[in-house]
Structure 1
Amino acid sequence: MISINSVISIIKKELKGHLDNPSSYISLVVFVTLWEFLFFKNVFLVGEASLRILYDYLPWVLMFFAGAVTMSSFAQEKSEGTLELILTHPVRQLEVVVGKFISNWIFVGVALLFSLLTAFSINMFGTIDWGIYLAQFLSGWLFSGSLVSLGLFLSILFSNQIAALLATVAISFFFIIAGSEFFTLNIPLSLVPLFERLSILTHVTSMGKGVVDIRDLWYFISFIIIFLSLSCLQLLKEKYGNRKDYFRRFQTGIALFIGIAVLTNIIGERIPGRLDLTAGRLYSLSEATKKSISSLTDIVTLTFYSSSKLPGQLTPVVREVKDIIRDYADNSRGNITVINKDPSGNSEIANEANALGVKEIQFNVIGQEEFQLKTGFIGLVVSFGDKHEVIPYIESTSDLEYQLTSFITKLTSKDKKTIGFLTGHGEKSIDSDYQSLNTELGKQFETINITVDKKDPQIASNAAVLVVAGPVLAIEPETKTVIRNYLDKGKSVLFLLDVYKINTQSLSVLPNENGFNDLLSDYGVKLDTDMVYDLRSNETIRLGSQSGFGFFLPYPYWLRALPENSSSPVTGNIESVVLPWTSSITLDEGKTKEKNLEVKKILITSKYAGVKTSDIVLSPDKAEFSKDNLKEQLLAVSLQQMQAQNNNTLGKMIIVGNSEFLTDQFVSSTPENLGFGMNAISWLSSEKSLAGIRIKQTSLKKLLFENQLQPTIVKYGNMILAFLIPAGVGFYRFRRRKSRRNLVYKYNET
């Protein structure tokens, strides 16, 4: 047993050594300043309210800092000849190692706490997911403990501090890159999974996403214990030499423990157990998925085809896929069966995978000093009876839950509601403009084109929702009458209307006289003849130049509309929707009360928005925007009758002053747009939307600054504090020590 008092005494001694050593403060300031400089160099370009970039840089700067902190732990003792003195004291070697380890870990951990100041400052202009930050800090703290234990061991091996530092950096670098493609490309393919699990960066990245996995925790714990044990073994060797039986027994025990630790880290890949700390529980099955799979009445089979020999970058994907499909089985009440198959070396399974549509991917490996072409599988098949849906190739699990739940819903649903898209007036087409939306709707609904026949004007009775998407040609009065009658029957309509006709090639603007304002005015809604811009919440676009170099420019006409109510079923889980060249909406409260309508604002701008009513120039580098009369603008509303009148229930409506945002161009770059469209149609059809499953994986909280000075203050404020706080503490400590040197001891004779 070790003595706690002895360990605490060593910790105090070592910490005092750090606090009284000027080089400790210098290394601390250099580490934190460099770390934050790399972060602030890119964070405002990305515009994301998170510390992901900060912790991406951490491994590469921490290996130098951890080496600098630990290099003198034993190397200095050996060079000064005091190690032998320590070993003769009545203190165990384990107590010395643990005391020095904890003190160094505390000092490095204090440096990591500076990220908390950065997190608070970023959170003032965006909304940080504190669960992800907690997981990132925990992964960084455990990572630092691993490097400290490694540095401590290497410090015993050298009597020169610089040699200990260089060795720590070199071996830390190996553990960081061991699982990367840079390294695994040059080793036999059969060893790739082993080195991927050996890599410390794999486990840091896994935990940094916001998930605390028992396999990652065990990796860090075993790493630390192994190198602390090796440190104790080396001290015993210094004290007893390798002839003593005690040393040999300890040596055998350490070797056995290392073998067990390595084996459990390999076998432990099959052990489930993780805690999702993210705010939206991004890596746990959503309630929509749980409800969907728990109501299954027959068996659905998930067959995962993954080759045992895959590139290193796909190994974490395989692990995540297995975790996700295991969660499906656990929450399905026995109605989902999971099968894992390895096609490597089994032509029958490989042929089966190919027949079902799973792609055989190709990748390069190094063999006999040249590139060799290898093939493998990583795909998934969802089966229900004799019906199948396939994910041919899984490169990322970001939207895997959405795909799986959509396929299960598609295969097991018996009666799908129909969504009709109005045609005949130049509307956006589901066959060309809205292909992505049509594909996603097809997993939950039937979609049809609806053209109103002049001879027999009516809308198909099986259409639960009608979508009117950007008509630009004349609309017959009969068509508007049919839509009124359709609403009076309790059916729902999604109006996506454009006040202007935009030529995206020439960026020219023409008024669109063919709208529905006359119909909407009956319900108290009017689309204003203007174009809204937002000086704060907008997209940044890239423009080319004659020199061939591009540059980035904020484009206020492509604004990021914000949800008015985050709990709304239409905007739930959505941070923003990109609306290009959109118009504002005005409400007539008298009309809405007369119709007994409940009006809810869905999308709004920030308070830094304005409108253009004339001389509209769309070119990003020529457009001018007034900063006068800026205020919040209304961009989308929903209407729903609170109580039926004359035994007639009016259908639900959603009105948006834009139809371009759901085109393939915008939904491919901004998946939240697609999520909004899916949510809107699901709400209108009274169906549960699955779009929230996708959005929770892709939504990014944006940074919003009121002026250009604020990001400068955040950037330099954090970097200045990174210098002033350690410098202030160091200055106080040195002044205090200096003043105590001048004290004179006086003997009190009384």
Structure 2
Amino acid sequence: MNLNKIIEIANKELKSYLDHAQGYLLLSILVSVLYFLFLKTFFVVGTASVRSLFELLPWILTIFVPAVTMSSIASEKEKQTLEYLITQPITPKEIIFGKILGAWIFSSIGILLTLPLAFIISTIGKIDTGETVAGYLGALILILTLSSLGVAISSFYKNQISAFLTTATVIFLLNIISTDLISINLPVSVSNLLSNLSISDNYFSIIRGVLEIPSIVYFALFIYISINIGITNIEKVRFSKMKAAIIKSLKSLVLILLISAITIYSAGYAKGRVDLTSNKKYTLSQISKDTLKSGDKVRIDVYASNDLPQQFQAAFSELKNTLNDYTAFGGDKIQVQYLLPDDHKAELDANGITPIQFNVIGNDQYQVKQGYMALVISNDSDQSKKEIIPYVNDINSLEFELTKAISKVKESSKPTIAFATGNGEKDLYQDFAALKSMIGSDYTVTTVALPSEETAKVPDLSVYKAIVFAGQTTSYSKASEDAIISFVKNGGNILYMPDLIQIDLQTTSASKNEEINGDLFNEFGIKVNPDLVYDLRSNVPTQVGTESGVIVVSYPFWTVGVLSSENTKELPGTAIFPWSSSLEITSPDWETLYSTSVFGNKQIGTFNIGLEQNLSETDLQTIPLVAISGISDKDKGIMIVAGTTRMFDNQFVSQSRENALLATSLFEKLASEKNFSQISAKNILGSQFKSTTNLQKDLVNYGSPAASLLLLIMIGIARYTKKKRQKHMLEYI
């Protein structure tokens, strides 16, 4: 195969496009349609990404590529120049390669003309470079694949219109076979097969920033098959009918084997992938992979309305991508099915799933719509084990929520949480009755007595997944303390909440508990201080009776703590920490979960919890209230330390939704068999730009299309100048 001859044929093809106005008209139409459809929703979605531009391509190229390739071989046959061409010292393979290369380069120009758009968008938000590169790479691969198909189909015809219609029909079918329109009523196995054979589904895998072996093999074999079809049809012209029939039979056999190979590879038997995104947002954590491959089979039912607003279409698309990753890694352990809510109202009601109200803003109009985007995760062999995500509202933390839910329905027994007793701790069945009722369905909640006498025997703590130390008033024995420390070092989890300041609500007074120092876990680099924290700004208002009636005043000692960690998206943004002490952290192993605002301070030595007093406004600072350690250390247990037990007593768990959610989340960290905190939140949908100036909007809406069309004009001028120079040289010679 002669590369120079291939380039010569490709140049001839390019000239046929770029030396005529029709070529520039085609490119200008392609660019204009892409811009029109992309910009229509860009500012509504508000994401600094060009991915939605590439998502439009399979359908737009359904018309564009056939218009480019229809004349590749058909025109040669129609003009009877193909017979002349094959009499020259050139092979059918070189002809096909040259034709495909020319069509690919010409079509690729239209996509590369949109580069100014990506550059301008990067000025108004943080664009994912890896995802953008993958988008353009995927677009070029798709164009090459469709160009190969177009040239192959063109080799069957003498009439260009017939070639155009056939190519457009085949591309349309390859796109539509994986859509809900076709697969919604088909068995899951058939639906998955169609998805694996769909050209658009394999393409979408690439443009989201992931290069997977099945998709790469799919496109490589698709191109190879198309090339061989084209070569076979040209060889039929060159050789006798008998020889052509033999060649055709051999080629057909090869094609059957290759199609089988596509099916096998695309079905997922070939593994391997490269995540090109900047933060590896499409790479599942190891804990998710382990969870998917172990235990019972799990079924995930997806209830999604088919008329979701545009702002939520991107989220649903990413939901499907994530579930595809789960099925790829989980194999037969994970089964996903998509269900229309209108057809399964009874199931939705039985699972307590209600429609969500979507506030839709677009085209200067405000609308309210209702719809569903819910998940029901259930154990396939035990339907009573079920977890429900009633509304998928945060795609960035979806892996955390989904993996945690799958792990729960696979669990064979409940983890055991023990509340320490025997040293004046708060009573599990009285002080924490609401908390016990809330977590009792997920865990076995019990008590364990730890002695304060040195001669008493310490019970075996290793039988518990987590131990809670809540409000002790006397010290543990040395043997008990040693057993607790050993429990943590051997992988046990603890929640430590000593009340160093005793509160007397009858006299509205407070005093230090002299029996304990809050230094039980001092060797791990943390201590609870004997002080009382208040916050002058971030606090809970309370009602006070006066002669004039009931008034609402701020109570600084009921501090509203603010979430400080960026890696714990499952925790509420705020929670109430009444009469809390501060934490003294001396080890970098600890991460502050909650703290006061910058208007925090503390009373030391002398305490006054009354409403009417002048609290010090000097030395205001952020004060840690809750901290965690052991998330990244697999050998050591998870330790959570808080400055108060009252945040989880009956009053605050029952009356504060945030405190109830905090309790649920912290106990999940403590009692789960797996450390799901290792699953970090991911910026899947891309950087959101909250506001843009009019200049930035004009640059995107008008500047980028103008720049693209200007580049096209420059290409035309350059081509015209070169052609004119060549003409003058010929005249001179």
1:266 is aligned to 2:263: yes
Match of 2:556 in 1: 515
| C-alpha separation in 2, matches of 1:513 and 1:4 | 81
Cα 1:99/1:411, change in 2 over 3 Å: farther
State the Cα deviation string for residues 688-738 of structure 1 (Å, max 9, x = none): 952452733867532254534323323322221221111111123223433
Cα 1:301/1:324, change in 2 over 3 Å: same
The answer to whether the 8 A contact 2:387-2:408 is kept is no
| C-alpha separation in 1, matches of 2:687 and 2:444 | 29
Cα 1:489/1:135, change in 2 over 3 Å: same
The answer to whether the 8 A contact 2:195-2:201 is kept is yes
Match of 2:296 in 1: 302
Cα 1:176/1:593, change in 2 over 3 Å: closer
| C-alpha separation in 2, matches of 1:709 and 1:666 | 43
| C-alpha separation in 2, matches of 1:702 and 1:19 | 39
In the TM superposition, residue 100 of structure 1 has moved relative to its aligned partner by 0.9
Cα 1:441/1:414, change in 2 over 3 Å: closer
Cα 1:102/1:596, change in 2 over 3 Å: closer
Superposed, 1:296-375 pairs within 5 Å as: 301-304=295-298, 320-325=325-330
Task: Answer with 1 or 2: which has the greater Rg.
Answer: 2
| C-alpha separation in 1, matches of 2:444 and 2:661 | 14
Match of 2:119 in 1: 120
Cα 1:675/1:23, change in 2 over 3 Å: farther
Provide the secondary structure at the position in 2 that maps to 1:695: coil
Match of 2:70 in 1: 71
| Match 1:572 to one of 567, 576, 579 | 567
AA in 2 matched with 1:30 = I
In the TM superposition, residue 120 of structure 1 has moved relative to its aligned partner by 3.4
In the TM superposition, residue 488 of structure 1 has moved relative to its aligned partner by 6.5
Cα 1:300/1:185, change in 2 over 3 Å: closer
| C-alpha separation in 2, matches of 1:733 and 1:663 | 75
Superposed, 1:389-408 pairs within 5 Å as: 398=399, 399-405=401-407
State the Cα deviation string for residues 314-343 of structure 1 (Å, max 9, x = none): 9988864443236xxxxxxxxxxx868999
The answer to whether the 8 A contact 1:573-1:696 is kept is no
Match of 2:702 in 1: 716
Match of 1:244 in 2: 241
In the TM superposition, residue 55 of structure 1 has moved relative to its aligned partner by 2.2
State the Cα deviation string for residues 436-488 of structure 1 (Å, max 9, x = none): x99999999879998x99xx999xx99725599xxxxx998567968997866
The answer to whether the 8 A contact 2:281-2:683 is kept is yes
| C-alpha separation in 2, matches of 1:67 and 1:666 | 59
Q: Which moved more, 1:491-500 or 1:206-215?
A: 491-500
| C-alpha separation in 1, matches of 2:506 and 2:110 | 66
| C-alpha separation in 2, matches of 1:232 and 1:492 | 79
In structure 1, list runs of 5 or more residues that go unmatched: 308-312, 327-337, 344-356, 359-376, 469-473, 503-509, 521-525, 528-560, 565-569, 584-590, 605-610, 612-633, 642-648, 655-661, 668-672
The answer to whether the 8 A contact 2:65-2:143 is kept is yes
Cα 1:387/1:19, change in 2 over 3 Å: closer
AA in 2 matched with 1:246 = K
| C-alpha separation in 1, matches of 2:119 and 2:109 | 16
Superposed, 1:14-163 pairs within 5 Å as: 14-163=13-162
Cα 1:603/1:165, change in 2 over 3 Å: farther
AA in 2 matched with 1:123 = S
Cα 1:155/1:686, change in 2 over 3 Å: closer
| C-alpha separation in 2, matches of 1:430 and 1:272 | 48
AA in 1 matched with 2:556 = G
Cα 1:595/1:727, change in 2 over 3 Å: closer
In the TM superposition, residue 101 of structure 1 has moved relative to its aligned partner by 0.6
The answer to whether the 8 A contact 1:421-1:467 is kept is no
State the Cα deviation string for residues 153-173 of structure 1 (Å, max 9, x = none): 232334443443333222211
| C-alpha separation in 2, matches of 1:421 and 1:30 | 74
State the Cα deviation string for residues 563-610 of structure 1 (Å, max 9, x = none): 99xxxxx31386x99969x99xxxxxxx99999999999899xxxxxx
Match of 2:718 in 1: 732
Match of 1:588 in 2: none
State the Cα deviation string for residues 546-572 of structure 1 (Å, max 9, x = none): xxxxxxxxxxxxxxx9x99xxxxx313
| C-alpha separation in 1, matches of 2:206 and 2:167 | 23
| C-alpha separation in 2, matches of 1:233 and 1:477 | 95
In structure 2, list runs of 5 or more residues that go unmatched: 302-316, 338-349, 352-374, 393-397, 446-463, 476-483, 485-492, 500-504, 522-526, 543-550, 600-620, 629-638, 645-652
The answer to whether the 8 A contact 2:474-2:515 is kept is no
Match of 2:311 in 1: none
Match of 1:534 in 2: none
Cα 1:577/1:486, change in 2 over 3 Å: same
1:281 is aligned to 2:280: yes
| C-alpha separation in 2, matches of 1:83 and 1:8 | 18
Match of 1:506 in 2: none
Cα 1:696/1:666, change in 2 over 3 Å: farther
| C-alpha separation in 2, matches of 1:37 and 1:715 | 9
| C-alpha separation in 2, matches of 1:213 and 1:716 | 36
| Match 1:254 to one of 240, 246, 251 | 251
The answer to whether the 8 A contact 2:152-2:226 is kept is yes
Provide the secondary structure at the position in 2 that maps to 1:709: helix
Using the size of structure 1 for normalisation, the TM-score is: 0.59
Cα 1:89/1:101, change in 2 over 3 Å: same
AA in 2 matched with 1:112 = I
Cα 1:80/1:403, change in 2 over 3 Å: same
| C-alpha separation in 2, matches of 1:687 and 1:306 | 21
State the Cα deviation string for residues 69-118 of structure 1 (Å, max 9, x = none): 21222233233332222122221111100111122122223333345443
Provide the secondary structure at the position in 1 that maps to 2:181: helix
| Match 1:701 to one of 687, 708, 712 | 687
Identity %: 22
In the TM superposition, residue 511 of structure 1 has moved relative to its aligned partner by 6.2
Provide the secondary structure at the position in 2 that maps to 1:301: coil
The answer to whether the 8 A contact 2:495-2:641 is kept is no
| C-alpha separation in 1, matches of 2:84 and 2:656 | 72
Provide the secondary structure at the position in 2 that maps to 1:515: strand
Match of 1:614 in 2: none
Using the size of structure 2 for normalisation, the TM-score is: 0.60
AA in 2 matched with 1:572 = N
In the TM superposition, residue 124 of structure 1 has moved relative to its aligned partner by 3.1
Cα 1:446/1:317, change in 2 over 3 Å: same
AA in 2 matched with 1:738 = K
1:228 is aligned to 2:233: no
